A and B are shown apart, each in its own frame.
Chain A
């Protein structure tokens, strides 16, 4: 029986063990915590900043905004329609501003971390300014709280109140920046943590936003401009905020390159982005060929026949440009430069490691030129204009130099059809911007402002479009604000937008369902409609947009 007593004892122990385990739930919390989860205490501001900069890329992108302002061309040639595009909204709040808010929460109590906080504040303004420029009134003050305080149905703040906060934030953040204190170092993908450059970025961004409000609130514009009179601004290529794609995994490479390697080795207009007419007009000039060609043209664009099957050798002169226009328009308007050709993005845009511009000094010069022209800030408009063009040329030259070594990879990919008659070396040699070409161009009348102030403004904005390229959202905002460049869209009764470019984007449909009270309040301020043609608060230039000379007016201007 001894043996069995032992067994019974063992059973008893087992029972006790299990009973005991039942009272032990201490380790449950740890068990139910994902191993990969970092608490807010543990996540480093560096990780969050890199994450935001990486995710933001060149900034927000409102789908088709490049087409709205003539920077790019919509390939299906269809008129603009009521379309929903929630991506920018989602990206803003759930990939960008939420992480920036976390940095600010983590750093605000520690004076030693003031640079980390200030840089996050500047980036937050940069992101939110794009979001409000897309949609108008948006949740701003209620957004991005910690989970237990999260406002699940945040109210929409007016664009005016948001802009007022932008100016305050940028001013404070720039003042906070202190080169003597700790910064992000290499985790800052733009500037390597250089606080001085961030100060220039903050001031330049304030300049951009001050200009944005000049038609609706000249006083607000003027106040900020004067405030910035003696502040450091982005003035050279080395001040540019850029982020380069990485050549490790596909997700980090230039998306266009990945598209290309995943497609049959053939470039044609069906698959590829097209350069918009507004850019082509600005690059090549509206008129006679006696002017020297802007040397940036050949780096930024290539030629291809409209049918997409045959590629004109890249050595060919630029007599081929044309573009399909939006909407139902007569053929002669649709293809004003001949019916069989169009410009495509040059091969330089397809290299794996490419510059993704965030904010560049060249833009600042054009902003200064406009500010000077309209007496918002002291300075010589003509000089700024010329410097802007020069900065733009340097920008493209640098772009060429940084990408040319990779072009070979793309050149091989697109195949002999594209290369017809040329070798990589002859191609690169042709594409290189020679100093003589640059000098001739900079000496040409294009680089001098002429005419009335309004005509000068048009020249400034047209040139600004080239340097903004490919930042389509900024291009669209400039078009809305000033009415330039003149975009050729056809009046079209049948289309919901009457063939005109939208002036804002619809709010995401989900907001109507899950945040209806706040949504309806915001819509109420816009006359009860979530309309693409409603002007934003700062969109107050009643003269804009300006008709394109090629546009056939068939009805009264439908926009409000």
Chain B
């Protein structure tokens, strides 16, 4: 505590903080500095530990350290990623300076693998990929999961349709479960956290909104590293939860012996709308033919037509300045005329605001020789682009570690999160819920400023041509709120019996409550009696585990071995309690007592899993490694007698450059690896029993009971994924280039499928364990430093590419296809035996043999085929990213481009805007002056097609466009979902240490950041919508676009300093 502190308050906090951990008396102190053997530059961040100790210290920015060791005979181990470890005997010295040599063979690099076991990277027999620290803090996104976009081979991240603050959907190596979980398990500091979503929007109708997922609560500033374990081969030790990969998040902790440090990070970004649906500006609302106009009103002796308020289609008269009855008046205003002209082309864009996201955090770290702690406080505020959408999240994290003795240590963490979300945007296809839908279908002459004024003056929505609900009324009156209070915590104890044997016991708890309120006020026009929903979601996940680890080098000549044995107990519960009431007695009082009709509801879902596992590693001569793991799970959701499941894995790595002494300047390091593993997915609770349910409300005093409509599977088994993986890792040109290639092939059997059966059986579905989805693919990660100059100029690049093919090889007996999602138009997303997973199935245009579209001879509209076809597929063929960073002096410039290719999107926005005639391209054909390009069939007396003649039937707009929607020509609404996006640009500058010397600061860095900046290529330009969002995180809803929030570009500033 010799360091001069900047303020009394911080000093006070530090004292409190440090007093929480036990201070120990000093014994023998060693100080010194560590440099790089290559160029003599100081090496910061080098781990300095007494041999056998659990913790030590690290070097500071100047490479200096100070370490207390038990006695003068101790040995000190110096280690740093990318350098060869050195062990130095203290031999009574009080100063040790040394130079570390760069480890070009990467023999000492470590990675965190399953159950938090740290392994030498060279010994790992499967693919893992770590997210670099710099990727985590600067180019901010509110949801940590979005940081993975484009950076990890084989990982696809999709944004929520609800925009900022919403959930992320992360899919690793393709979708493998029909109805089960497909997202990875998130493990924070060794303890799984809950990432479930409640009441997800699952269809295009009705109301729904995205209140965010579980991973979104983690404060990015607390994260030290993220490691992605991509499949069963890496995650078999998580057994029933491991089949979709695991995302391991390690949070920051204090550094023992490092004194007190304060880190401040401040980030502000603004969100500007990027893409917005492209609308036409030529025609007003109304219909073709006789219903073109509504009633005739006489104004000053002249008859004018009205544009009826119940006309939702924009197939009306041209907006050419003609006079009509003005609908935009207050009640009681004498009839007047309106010159029918379009509103400014940008008026919809103007409805939205500029979003602002700020994130500020302060972290204090402190450490004595034996103990350390880190306290961080974070505040994030979101002001969305939709008026009144505001969220804020505060989080406080305290993480502390203390070595009670050389052998015994305790560690604990408490993370409290408070999140308040006001009015996250409504999702789906309901115009009474989703303002995006209203604006996409709104008549183009509707003056938004008048609607705003009308709402503000009358408090009513009013009734307007082409608009279901006044968007200003919607965003100001239909209020929603969700408040989440969450604790993520763990406490662990580690006892080091000997230098090679240790035991860890840990207890983790993730518990949160979320209260959601939804208010619909009483309104007169249009009439609504109002409603109020109040519900509380209680989630609890507790994990208790123990792990005994033994690790010994040279157990026999040239053999090293490590064994871990462990057990764990997992309990989760999800409780929903709430009520929904309608019909307010008195407007404006939002209380249960003010409702005429209240329906309570309650649900409780729980599960338990007990597990025992082991992991064994064997190494031979630093070049051949073998790992065998096994885990047995007993899961309560499975059938009686089938609770128990065993998941084995075996992996091996062989460093051929070491074995055959092949190292050279060109080939620095070479490794091949292979593995086989099984992992599972244990499905939902309550699938093994059936019976009867009582209706929640008695009728005339009588209880009502009904049989459940599901035939349960009494002996339900786990979904089981078996995966084979081969890979190779090469480092070339003195480690300037690194290449990692992986091939995998997995089969997910025993899919838990609710098969639709004949309802005449008395049941609608039957649960079966059947089917298989095969995923195979290749992942390539290339890393290079193309330029590195003495002047300090360096250019690093990394490129990743992943190709995945999901194929449905089998479904239940007698079941040929399984509907994953019904888009609500004619198209469905399905899994069909022998086909790629996620086909969009619907009707194609009817075409002549030469490819021309066949026209209906009766009205001149396009015809469709009679049978369903595959119109596309929602799963991408390949995803990847290219990341570049250029360093020069204190500057760095980073830009990330990511891409998704070979997938299609089913667009409900396109459907609606074609049906309603609001899309920009629907102005063609409106003047009855041209026919649709195509042919008309000629037929003989028997109705057989004998030939084709060119179509000459002149059509109106409705026939040309709306008929495609009404006629269910699904092909029209399937769009290419491929894109290339400039995802991130970060320009940063770190102040030079020489300059900082004169200040209290240890480091200071400014960056200018940009996110989601530019679609370099995308195929939905004509629509002005983004291919990136999907309606929910379920497997079937991938590639389902339903009036997503407009995508935004984010620009921001980041400031980080420590002292």
**A28-B634, A29-B640, A33-B686 known; A50-B693 Cβ under 8 A:** no
For A93, the chain B residues whose CB sits under 8 A away are 759-762
Is A515 positioned at the interface, with any CB of B under 8 Å from its CB?
A: yes
Q: Do A44 and B705 touch (CB < 8 A)?
A: yes
**A31-B606, A150-B761, A252-B697 known; A99-B702 Cβ under 8 A:** no
Q: Do A31 and B692 touch (CB < 8 A)?
A: no
Q: Do B702 and A46 touch (CB < 8 A)?
A: yes
Is B133 positioned at the interface, with any CB of A under 8 Å from its CB?
A: no
Q: Which of A31, A54, A142, A252 contacts B608 (CB 8 A)?
A: A31
Q: Do B612 and A139 touch (CB < 8 A)?
A: no
Within 8 A of A (CB), among B679-693: 685-686, 688-693
Q: Which of A38, A102, A151, A248 contacts B761 (CB 8 A)?
A: A151
From A21, A144, A147, A248, name the one whose CB has the most chain B CB atoms within 10 angstroms: A147
Closest to B528 in A: A262
Closest to A251 in B: B697
Q: Which of B689, B760, B763 contacts A34 (CB 8 A)?
A: B689
A495 to B99, CA, bound (A): 92
Q: Do B700 and A246 touch (CB < 8 A)?
A: yes
Is A312 positioned at the interface, with any CB of B under 8 Å from its CB?
A: no
**Shortest distance between the CB of B521 and any CB in chain A (Å):** 15
Closest to A12 in B: B503
Closest to A154 in B: B760
**A34-B686, A145-B761 known; A514-B546 Cβ under 8 A:** no
A68 to B1056, CA, bound (A): 76
Is A287 positioned at the interface, with any CB of B under 8 Å from its CB?
A: no
For A44, the chain B residues whose CB sits under 8 A away are 703, 705
**A152-B766, A251-B697 known; A138-B706 Cβ under 8 A:** no
For B757, the chain A residues whose CB sits under 8 A away are 152-153, 514-515
Binds A, one of B652-660, B707-715, B780-788, B861-869: B707-715
Q: Do B762 and A98 touch (CB < 8 A)?
A: yes
For A19, the chain B residues whose CB sits under 8 A away are 567, 612
For A29, the chain B residues whose CB sits under 8 A away are 640
For B643, the chain A residues whose CB sits under 8 A away are 25, 28
Is B792 positioned at the interface, with any CB of A under 8 Å from its CB?
A: no
Q: Which of A11, A22, A38, A261 contacts B705 (CB 8 A)?
A: A38
**Shortest distance between the CB of A116 and any CB in chain B (Å):** 14
**Shortest distance between the CB of B699 and any CB in chain A (Å):** 5
A102 to B612, CA, bound (A): 43
Over the window 155-187 of chain A, the binary record of Cβ atoms lying under 8 Å from chain B Cβ atoms (1 yes, 0 no) is 000000000000000000000000000000011
Is B96 positioned at the interface, with any CB of A under 8 Å from its CB?
A: no
Is A543 positioned at the interface, with any CB of B under 8 Å from its CB?
A: no
**A19-B612, A25-B636 known; A37-B606 Cβ under 8 A:** no
Within 8 A of B (CB), among A78-116: 89-90, 93-95, 97-99, 101-102
Within 8 A of A (CB), among B965-1008: none
**Shortest distance between the CB of A249 and any CB in chain B (Å):** 5
Is B298 positioned at the interface, with any CB of A under 8 Å from its CB?
A: no
Is B582 positioned at the interface, with any CB of A under 8 Å from its CB?
A: yes
Q: Which of B597, B760, B764 contacts A250 (CB 8 A)?
A: B597
**Shortest distance between the CB of A120 and any CB in chain B (Å):** 13
**A152-B758, A511-B758, A514-B756 known; A31-B546 Cβ under 8 A:** no
Within 8 A of A (CB), among B1009-1048: none
Is B505 positioned at the interface, with any CB of A under 8 Å from its CB?
A: yes
Q: Do A94 and B763 touch (CB < 8 A)?
A: yes
**Shortest distance between the CB of A214 and any CB in chain B (Å):** 28
A460 to B707, CA, bound (A): 41
Q: Do B692 and A40 touch (CB < 8 A)?
A: yes
Q: Do A22 and B611 touch (CB < 8 A)?
A: yes
Q: Do B702 and A144 touch (CB < 8 A)?
A: no
Is A440 positioned at the interface, with any CB of B under 8 Å from its CB?
A: no
Q: Do B703 and A50 touch (CB < 8 A)?
A: yes
Q: Which of B503, B694, B711, B760 contacts A11 (CB 8 A)?
A: B503
Closest to B705 in A: A47
**Shortest distance between the CB of A513 and any CB in chain B (Å):** 8
A54 to B640, CA, bound (A): 36
Closest to A261 in B: B529
For B763, the chain A residues whose CB sits under 8 A away are 94, 98, 147, 150, 152
Is B527 positioned at the interface, with any CB of A under 8 Å from its CB?
A: yes
A250 to B531, CA, bound (A): 13
Interface residues on A, range: 35 or more
Closest to B689 in A: A33
**Shortest distance between the CB of B428 and any CB in chain A (Å):** 20
Q: Do B707 and A98 touch (CB < 8 A)?
A: yes
Q: Which of B528, B640, B690 contacts A28 (CB 8 A)?
A: B640
**Shortest distance between the CB of B408 and any CB in chain A (Å):** 6
Over the window 195-214 of chain B, the binary record of Cβ atoms lying under 8 Å from chain A Cβ atoms (1 yes, 0 no) is 00000000000000000000
For B546, the chain A residues whose CB sits under 8 A away are 11, 14-15, 18
For B388, the chain A residues whose CB sits under 8 A away are none
Is A372 positioned at the interface, with any CB of B under 8 Å from its CB?
A: no
For A451, the chain B residues whose CB sits under 8 A away are none
Q: Do A510 and B756 touch (CB < 8 A)?
A: yes
**A143-B761, A514-B757 known; A54-B699 Cβ under 8 A:** yes
Q: Do B703 and A47 touch (CB < 8 A)?
A: yes
**Shortest distance between the CB of A141 and any CB in chain B (Å):** 11
**A22-B612, A152-B757, A264-B527 known; A37-B762 Cβ under 8 A:** no
A32 to B692, CA, bound (A): 15
Within 8 A of B (CB), among A20-61: 21-22, 24-25, 28-29, 31-40, 42-44, 46-48, 50-51, 54-55
**Shortest distance between the CB of B614 and any CB in chain A (Å):** 13
Closest to B612 in A: A22
Q: Which of A28, A50, A94, A264 contacts B762 (CB 8 A)?
A: A94
Closest to B815 in A: A514
Q: Do A94 and B704 touch (CB < 8 A)?
A: no
Is B495 positioned at the interface, with any CB of A under 8 Å from its CB?
A: yes
Q: Do B759 and A37 touch (CB < 8 A)?
A: no
From B493, B525, B761, name the one whose CB has the most chain A CB atoms within 10 angstroms: B761
For A265, the chain B residues whose CB sits under 8 A away are 527
Q: Do B706 and A4 touch (CB < 8 A)?
A: no
A263 to B563, CA, bound (A): 71
Within 8 A of A (CB), among B581-596: 582-583
Q: Do B640 and A47 touch (CB < 8 A)?
A: no
Is B545 positioned at the interface, with any CB of A under 8 Å from its CB?
A: yes
Q: Do B607 and A264 touch (CB < 8 A)?
A: no
Is A8 positioned at the interface, with any CB of B under 8 Å from its CB?
A: yes
Is A308 positioned at the interface, with any CB of B under 8 Å from its CB?
A: no
Closest to A184 in B: B702
Closest to B405 in A: A4
Is B610 positioned at the interface, with any CB of A under 8 Å from its CB?
A: yes
From B493, B495, B703, name the one whose CB has the most chain A CB atoms within 10 angstroms: B703
Q: Do A31 and B636 touch (CB < 8 A)?
A: yes
Q: Which of A22, A32, A144, A261 contacts B610 (CB 8 A)?
A: A22
Q: Which of B526, B528, B691 contacts A40 (CB 8 A)?
A: B691
Is B896 positioned at the interface, with any CB of A under 8 Å from its CB?
A: no
Q: Do A143 and B760 touch (CB < 8 A)?
A: yes
Is B179 positioned at the interface, with any CB of A under 8 Å from its CB?
A: no
Q: Do A18 and B567 touch (CB < 8 A)?
A: yes
For A25, the chain B residues whose CB sits under 8 A away are 610, 634, 636, 643-644
Closest to B610 in A: A22
Q: Do B569 and A142 touch (CB < 8 A)?
A: no
CB<8 Å pairs between A and B, sample of 17: A15-B505, A18-B545, A21-B569, A22-B567, A25-B634, A47-B694, A54-B699, A93-B759, A94-B763, A99-B707, A139-B758, A139-B760, A142-B761, A152-B761, A153-B758, A252-B697, A261-B529
Identify the 9 closest CB pairs spanning chains A and B, nearest first.
A47-B705, A139-B760, A515-B758, A51-B704, A144-B762, A50-B702, A98-B762, A28-B636, A152-B757
19 other A-B residue contacts (CB within 8 Å) besides A31-B636, A54-B699: A15-B505, A18-B545, A21-B569, A24-B610, A32-B607, A32-B686, A34-B689, A37-B693, A47-B692, A48-B705, A51-B704, A55-B706, A98-B707, A144-B762, A150-B766, A153-B761, A154-B758, A249-B597, A250-B582
